[in-house]
Structure 1
Amino acid sequence: MTAVEPSRSIDDLIEPMGTGVFRAVEPLQVAAMLESQGLNDKIAREQYGHADIFALAETAYFHVKAMNRPQARTRTPLKRARPAAQMLHGLLYALPAALLPAASGLVGSQWLMPGLVLTTGFGWIVGSAAAHLGYSLIAQGHPRSAGRVLRSGLLVGVLAAAFMAGTVAISRDGPVMLVALCVMQMAFQIASGILLFYRREGWLGMMMAPAAVAGLAYIVIGDRWVGLLTIWVGLMCILATVAGALRLTLTRGPDDAAEPPLRTLVEANARALAPSLVYALLSAVFLLQAEGRYVLDRADIAVAGAGLVVGMGILEYRAHSFEDDVRAAIGEVRYPADFTRRGRWLLAKGLFVCLAALAVLSVLPLAFLYATGDLTEASVAMAVAHVVIGGAYFVAFLLANQAKVIHLCIAQAVALAVHPLGRLFLPAGHTALADVLLFAAAASLFLVILTVLMSLGLRDVRQYS
């Protein structure tokens, strides 16, 4: 039987693919490009004389490499996962919590907790926006401008905290000390984010360790003067954290090249920043509105989700591990369909690990509530809801890395439609348990939507090149 003479050459195949083929680092990526253009095994056999689409992609890939173009050089992707450092992020963020008993003793929880809910939410939004813009500017080769953005975010956050806490204190005849404590909280929240932005986890741990020790000493001793000393130690530690963060933002590029005006850079990135800003706002509202209503009269519900805060670093680490593993899978499978199956397995594995880790961490606050006799069905339900939210945040990290922030905004808006808007349809005089269960349902819906979006997105191999 005579072999069929191919009717088209490899050059004919490569030319319509544009420059994207020269950026491919594995034959599988070329196969995905061919499939996206409608090629299949039949066309590979009849028009190009190859057994299947992957054999054709291999030939095209090595043909491009032989052309000796700079874009065709293979590269080994850098590992993004840093286990020890990233898994500690949540614990580092939670260090100031040791100061809360002393702060509550000075101004009263009826003033402190509403103030901290406001400043935490605003700091979440400002910190996220500044970090997103900072990463974009560094990727574009503008490290000094990135530093200016981070410094500006710190200044805006501190001024906003002073204004919000001052408004609460004046309008409700609260203590002046509330303003100082809220400013301290905001300064730490954004400055710690800057330190982690520059990968200085060790600095942050060392700077805040004395404050954590002082806070624990106050819990044991309970004396008012010890409380004042604890707040003073905390203030010194936070000032050191701010100073360290400001120093890092003054870092210059290796070539000290001139950079465009910051206003020009911000305007150029504003369109990409807007969805991230909206998502940060929606996320802050979704989580804090569910917890904030219980900070004064139902402490058991308010503290039940503390495991999520401590576990945020685990979610970040697992998201980076997924990115590393899925890129490694590109070189281990032959067909795009195989890559999709491997990617979905890695997604399921990562989600299971995150949910399991958060479940274990959630046992700690529940055990505390049980020991103090405050454990309730509502607090258990709130802990479960936070475990589910943590799983959703893991998947959200992955979608954000694919620049699918608009999808995240839509999914978060749907969850907000269930809670808090769904509360309007609860019976009059409903219990806290009913509200928390509705919140857990909203969190579950959020997780399902994000998981489906991520699973469908794994069909596109090119986004992991």
Structure 2
Amino acid sequence: MTAVEPSTSRSMDDLIEPMGTGAFRAVEPLQVAAMLESQGLSDRIARERYGHDDVFSLAEAAYTHIKTLDRPRPPLAEAPLKRARPLAQMLHGLLYGLPAALLPAASGLVGARWLMPGLVLTTGLGWVIGSGAAHLAYTLVGRGYPRSAGRVLRSGMLLGVLGATAMAGLLALAMGGPLALVALCVTQLAFQIASGMLLFYRRELWLGVIMLPAVIAGIAYIALADRWVGLLAVCVGVVCVAGVVGSALLLTLAQGEPAAAEPPLRRLSRSHLRGLLPALAWATLTALFLLQAEARYVLDRSDIAVAGAGLVLGMGLLEYRAHRFDDDARASVRDVCYPADFTRRGRWLVAKGVLICLAALSALSSLPLVFLYVKGGLTTESVTMAVAHVTVGGAYFVAFLLANQGKVIHLCLAQAAALAVHPTGRLLLPGGGSAQADVLLFAAAALLFLLILLVLMSRGLRDVRQYR
């Protein structure tokens, strides 16, 4: 039976209006029929009010009418707070690398033979402890416990200094190194953790200003190559690091109201232990993956060791692009009606971010390569190592996005897969001990790491709720 036209008092627009924007997400008439029935519309009402035999006939007409209408735009909500801070975040890598200006002076004082292995070990320790403390502190701040977050950061500093003292002391005893090695390694780790604390509280300017005299002194030693200037540069550096540590500790004490009642830190930490353990595992795996690739070259193949400097300088850029992606993704949610539209736009944003990061890291990595070329030390291995670090940087950008989604366990598994290629592959493959084979394996592991994370991120974009 052919449907008759509904009366003018009961138009299709009147029928569709109560369904809201949900009607525009329907992909077939049966979905419209389900919406109508959920609103209590029966076959009798369809006949009497709209002139159709039943609900399904009415739903087909309504579905046809919906397709002629423009999609309603989502209501404009208050714009979310932007997390990206271009200049400040992009400078993070440079700020973390400020002590590098003192490395020549420190090496001249105690000898690179002892200093470089010690710095590799304490850098890994500081990476793990600093990451774990920052993860727990961010969680506590989010729950409204700023003073407890400060206590966590101070505890991380104490634990790191004690660990660095023990580690550097054992290294000095085992290798017959000077006692100054312990002092320099502890100073390096204290700066690493304290600088992270200043960045936690968004005090990038403080960090740069306090460390400026040390950088100037380090450059002066490089220009003059005088032993006494080197000793002065190291002393100035120790004083500046002490200023950074003191400023960071004062910031942790100034957070929150003095009389604010917060639960005991032990209870708070215990309640977040399940989330802290994966974060510690992720930090350990990333430190192991990156530092072990460079550690074997810090003494006899400096051309390979310095090839990854571009990644250190570009870490702030990766952080900024990750925050920029979150801002753009949240803005996209407000502009689309369908999850599929967001998924397509999100994949474009990921691809755009990866390409920008790879291009920027390539430019930064060219700086040490140009230096090696001028000095006549550019090799195939150093170029391969630089490419590998650029690839790792692209993977870390995607890793930041996945970490913001809470997929830390997935990140650990992906990093473990990369470690299965390098250094495990170096031990299993014939000729894996050569420098060329080693850096090629590292580049292959970095590429595998990036591809796995891209697949995980592409699948994660289907969950739109986390970007609302």
Cα distance, 1:431 vs structure 2: 2.2
Question: For 1:43 and 1:202, how far apart are their aligned partners in 2?
Answer: 60
3-state SS of 1:253 partner? coil
Aligned to 2:388: 385
Whole-Å separation in 2 of the counterparts to 1:428 and 1:316: 37
Corresponding residue of 1:86: 89
Aligned equivalent of 2:264, options 261, 265, 277? 261
How far residue 317 of structure 1 moved from its aligned partner, in angstroms, is: 0.3
Greater Cα radius of gyration, structure 1 or 2: 2
**What is the CA deviation profile of residues 9-66 of structure 1, one whole-angstrom value per residue up to 9, with x for unaligned ones?**
99x999xxxxxxxxxxxx7xx89xx98xxx754443222256479x9x979x88xxxx
Say which SS state the counterpart of residue 231 (structure 2) adopts: helix
1:97 pairs, out of 100, 113, 132, with 100
Do 1:143 and 1:251's aligned partners in 2 also have CA atoms closer than 8 Å?
A: no
2:130 aligned with 1:127 = yes
Identity rate of aligned residues, in percent?
A: 65
The answer to whether the Cα contact below 8 Å between 1:125 and 1:277 also exists between their aligned partners in 2 is yes
Relative to structure 1, the CA distance from residue 2 to residue 98 in structure 2 (aligned partners, 3 Å threshold; closer, same or farther) is farther
Q: 1:13 to 1:135 in 2, by over 3 A?
A: farther
Q: Which residue of 2 aligns with 1:395?
A: 398
1:429 Cα shift?
7.1
In structure 1, runs of 5+ residues without a counterpart are 15-26, 63-72
Tell me how far apart the structure 2 counterparts of residues 43 and 179 of structure 1 sit (CA, whole Å): 74
- d(CA) in 2 for partners of 1:376 and 1:305? 14
**Distance verdict in 2 for CA 1:2–1:360, change over 3 Å:** farther
Deviations 1:415-448 (A, max 9, x none): 0000000112222474201110000000000000
Check the 8 A contact 1:414/1:446 in 2, yes or no: yes
- Give the Cα separation in 2 of the matches to 1:328 and 1:309: 30
* Structure 2 Cα separation of the partners of residues 269 and 320 of structure 1: 24
- Unmatched 5+ residue regions in structure 2? 37-61
CA distance in 2, matches of 1:270, 1:430: 39
Give how far 1:254 is off: 5.2
Residue 224 of structure 1: aligned partner: 227
1:308–1:358 contact (8 Å) kept in structure 2: yes
- Confirm or deny: 8 A CA contact 1:208 1:238 kept in the other structure: yes
For the 8 Å contact 1:166–1:179, the answer to whether it is kept is: yes
- Secondary structure at the aligned position of 1:252 is classed as coil
* Distance change >3 Å, CA 255–CA 228, structure 1 → 2: closer
CA distance in 2, matches of 1:443, 1:402: 22
Q: Secondary structure at the match of 1:305?
A: helix
1:440 equivalent to 2:443? Answer yes
Aligned residues of 1:192 and 1:245 also touching (Cα < 8 A): yes
Change (3 A) 1:346 1:231: same
Deviation at 1:305, TM superposition (A): 0.3
Distance 2:190 2:131 in 1: 14
* Structure 1 position 45 matched with structure 2 position 45: no
User: In angstroms, what is the RMSD of aligned CA positions?
Assistant: 2.6
- What code does the residue aligned with 1:454 have? M
Distance in 1 (CA, whole Å) between partners of 2:159 and 2:4 is 76
- Relative to structure 1, the CA distance from residue 117 to residue 265 in structure 2 (aligned partners, 3 Å threshold; closer, same or farther) is same
Q: From 203, 208, 223, give the equivalent of 1:205.
A: 208
The AA in structure 1 aligned to 2:32 is R
Partner of 1:347 in structure 2?
A: 350
Partner of 1:299: 302
Q: 1 CA distance for matches of 2:28 and 2:432?
A: 64
Partners of 1:424 and 1:383 in 2: how far apart? Answer: 22
Equivalent position amino acid for 1:193 in 2: G
Aligned pair 1:425/2:428, yes or no? yes
What is the alpha-carbon distance in structure 1 between the residues aligned to residue 19 and residue 136 of structure 2?
A: 39
Structure-2 separation of matches of 1:359 and 1:107: 34
Residue 251 of structure 1, CA deviation: 2.3
Change (3 A) 1:256 1:353: farther
What SS is found at the alignment partner of 1:304? helix
Superimposed CA distance per residue, residues 368-420 of structure 1 (whole angstroms, 9 cap, x where no aligned partner): 11111111000000000000000000000000000000110000000000000
Tell me what 1:67 maps to. none
Where does residue 461 of structure 2 map in the other structure? 458
- By relative contact order (CA 8 Å, sep 6+), the higher-ranking structure is 1
Asked if structure 1 preserves the Cα contact closer than 8 Å seen for 2:119 and 2:185, the reply is yes
> How far apart are the structure 1 equivalents of 2:338 and 2:5?
25
